[in-house]
Amino acid sequence: MLTTILYRSHICEGITVQAVEEMVASANGKNSHANVTGILLYNGTHFFQLLEGPEENVKEIYHHICKDSRHYNIVELLCDYAPARRFGKTGMELFDLREYVHEDVLQRVLDKGTSRYQLKYDDRALQFFRTFVESTEKENYFEIPLADSWEFVADDEVQLLPRQAEVEDDEFSFAFQPIIDPLSREIVALEALLRARDGKSPADYFASLQGDALYEADLRSKRTAFALAAELGLKDHPLSINLLPLTLVKIPDAVPYLLQEIKRFGLIPDQITIEFTESDVMSRIADFNRAVRALKAEGLRVAIEHFGSGFAGLLLLSEFQPDKIKINRSLIQDVHKSGPRQAIIQGIIKCCTSLEISVTAVGVEKAEEWMWLESAGISAFQGNLFASPALQGIPLILWPEKNTNY
Ligand SMILES: Cc1cc2nc3c(=O)[nH]c(=O)nc-3n(C[C@H](O)[C@H](O)[C@H](O)COP(=O)(O)O)c2cc1C
């Protein structure tokens, strides 16, 4: 299938124009052989390239390009399919933008076009050319350093050092995972993640329950979370727990029960955030909103987790504004390489900033993901890069430090 890939990247220091021209000459032969077209724009700091041709060949060449050490911060902007080539001539063509005025270079690129219609009507690929040439998206290019420019090291000075606790409960257990602000070296909160005592996943355990027993078990489990938090000496650190939205809707005494258990273990409502999953919320939004009002009236905070993964998306925020949203791992994964993910996360951040909703990135596993998200304006992170969940305990936290050998 005829495939188009567009990406942008940053040239590495020390690569001369002559070296770029030599690379283009060699790539010209390879592209022609593979029946691929490569239109490369260069503006002195950034590359922008369109690759067009048979899917397998385009993907194979792009795979090599991604590993090329002459450039970095390679961000895929578009991967799309078309009925015909925009640029019929295979091979490689370089446009050094510094040698043209904007209109000229776009015209020159268009002149290379051979498709009858593709370049005439609104074409996404062509719009990308335009934004690159006119630099209108440049403020969204976050130039992140290489992953090994940071080391992740433990710190004995932090208030919550690793420790374990035990509470009597043969039904539930919890693992704790911190949410941190890595640059301020602060623990923002700890999340208590439900684990079944018998080793089953909480999903299996809940699936074995019928009717309201599910919601009763969900609510009852929170008592164990509060008991463990108290045993672990959480003191005034914020604590996040998860609740099924329908637990709040179906169990009339859910809020008084939560308050009673929070107080029983010496915690205060203001330090507790209740996290709900986005997709479940929308199914009973009116009832849910009513129940949340009762929670908020007692001082508890509310977060939406897995934001961006369900069907409600931004519509949910028009119905209900939580104190916090947690962006799902599926959007965080390899965000530094993906134009669409970057655009979505920037949209979420912009929207949440306007609504004064704080944003946490969840499931952060790579230094590059964290660096990109910090550059985009997120400061709260949860993920194995910093700390994996510890069963019945507080895990070791690894804090980023600039690599002095770098
Ligand atoms: C910005 C940029 C664009 C490139 N475009 C192409 C291209 O269109 N086709 C190609 O074969 N190589 C291209 N290359 C070179 C490849 O990255 C790689 O060096 C080449 O495919 C040879 O790969 P190999 O040494 O692993 O065999 C490009 C390199 C850079 C830095």
CATH number of the domain encompassing residue 84? 3.30.70.100
Nearest to 251 by CA among 220, 206, 286, 285: 220
Mutate to test the pocket of ligand 1, among 7, 9, 13, 23 (most ligand atoms within 8 A of CB): 23
Which of 140, 158, 189 is a domain's end point? 140
Q: Are residues 284 and 365 both part of a single domain?
A: yes
* C-alpha of residue 28 to centroid of ligand 1, in Å: 9
The whole-angstrom separation of Cα 246 and Cα 249 is 5
Which protein residue has the closest C-alpha to ligand 1 atom 7? 27
Q: Are residues 119 and 10 both part of a single domain?
A: yes
* C-alpha of residue 97 to centroid of ligand 1, in Å: 20
Nearest atom within ligand 1 for CA of residue 70: 31
The 10s digit of each residue's pLDDT in 113-132 is 777 655 566 789 888 998 99
Domain count, the chain: 2
Find residue 390's DSSP bridge partners. Answer: 176
Nearest atom within ligand 1 for CA of residue 67: 17
pLDDT mean over 129-155: 89
**What does each C-alpha distance from 371 to 217, 362, 375 come to in angstroms?**
39, 14, 6
The 10s digit of each residue's pLDDT in 256-303 is 999 999 999 999 999 999 999 877 777 788 888 999 999 999 999 999
Q: What is the pLDDT of residue 206?
A: 83
Q: What is the pLDDT of residue 62?
A: 98
Tokens 């604590």 appear where?
A: 239
Does residue 56 have a pLDDT over 90? yes
Which protein residue has the closest C-alpha to ligand 1 atom 16? 65
* C-alpha of residue 79 to centroid of ligand 1, in Å: 18
CATH number at residue 357: 3.20.20.450
* C-alpha of residue 14 to centroid of ligand 1, in Å: 17
Q: Are residues 61 and 173 both part of a single domain?
A: no
Residues with CB under 6 Å of ligand 1 are 9, 23, 27, 30-31, 38, 40, 47, 49, 51, 61, 64-65, 68, 70-71, 92
Does residue 61 have a pLDDT over 90? yes
* C-alpha of residue 124 to centroid of ligand 1, in Å: 24
CB 241 within 8 A of CB 189: no
Does residue 112 have a pLDDT over 70? yes
Q: Are residues 22 and 102 both part of a single domain?
A: yes
Q: What is the pLDDT of residue 116?
A: 64
Q: What is the pLDDT of residue 312?
A: 62
Phi, psi of 321, deg, nearest 5:
-115, 110
Q: What is the pLDDT of residue 120?
A: 63
Which protein residue has the closest C-alpha to ligand 1 atom 28? 65
Helix (H, G, I), strand (E, B) or coil at 112: coil
CB 278 within 8 A of CB 306: yes
Q: Are residues 172 and 263 both part of a single domain?
A: yes
Which protein residue has the closest C-alpha to ligand 1 atom 26? 64
* C-alpha of residue 401 to centroid of ligand 1, in Å: 34
Mutate to test the pocket of ligand 1, among 6, 30, 49, 72 (most ligand atoms within 8 A of CB): 30
Q: Are residues 81 and 200 both part of a single domain?
A: no
Q: Are residues 176 and 43 both part of a single domain?
A: no
Q: Are residues 61 and 162 both part of a single domain?
A: no
Does residue 391 have a pLDDT over 60? yes
Tokens of 326: 């947690």
Q: What is the pLDDT of residue 113?
A: 79
Residue-wise burial string across 239-264, b where 16 or more C-beta atoms lie within 10 A, e elsewhere:
bbbbbbbbbbbbbeebbebbbebbee
**pTM of the full structure:** 0.92
Q: How far is CA 130 from the centre of its chain?
A: 27
Range of the domain at 271: 147-402
Q: Are residues 301 and 175 both part of a single domain?
A: yes
Q: Are residues 28 and 175 both part of a single domain?
A: no
* Mean pLDDT for all residues in the chain: 91
Q: Are residues 131 and 215 both part of a single domain?
A: no
Which of 94, 120, 140 is a domain's end point? 140
Task: For residue 223, name the pLDDT band (cuts at 50, 70, 90).
Answer: very high
DSSP state of 83: S
Question: 95-100: long-range contacts (C-beta < 8 A, 24 or more apart)?
Answer: 95/39, 95/40, 95/41, 95/42, 96/17, 96/42, 96/43, 97/41, 97/42, 97/43, 97/44, 97/133, 98/43, 98/44
Q: Are residues 135 and 151 both part of a single domain?
A: no
Task: For residue 406, name the pLDDT band (cuts at 50, 70, 90).
Answer: low
- Helices 124-134 and 102-111 meet at what angle, rounded to 10? 150
Find the distance separating the first CA and the last CA of the chain, reported in whole Å.
Answer: 43
Which of 140, 155, 171 is a domain's end point? 140
pLDDT mean over 207-233: 93
The whole-angstrom separation of Cα 80 and Cα 63 is 16
Task: For residue 46, name the pLDDT band (cuts at 50, 70, 90).
Answer: very high
The whole-angstrom separation of Cα 211 and Cα 203 is 15
Does residue 177 have a pLDDT over 70? yes
Q: What is the pLDDT of residue 119?
A: 59
Cβ-Cβ contacts under 8 Å for 370 (sequence gap 6 or more)? 182, 361, 364, 381, 383, 385, 400
Cβ-Cβ contacts under 8 Å for 207 (sequence gap 6 or more)? none
Mutate to test the pocket of ligand 1, among 68, 72, 96 (most ligand atoms within 8 A of CB): 68
The beta strand positions in 244-391, using DSSP E, are 272-277, 301-307, 324-327, 358-362, 380-382, 390-391
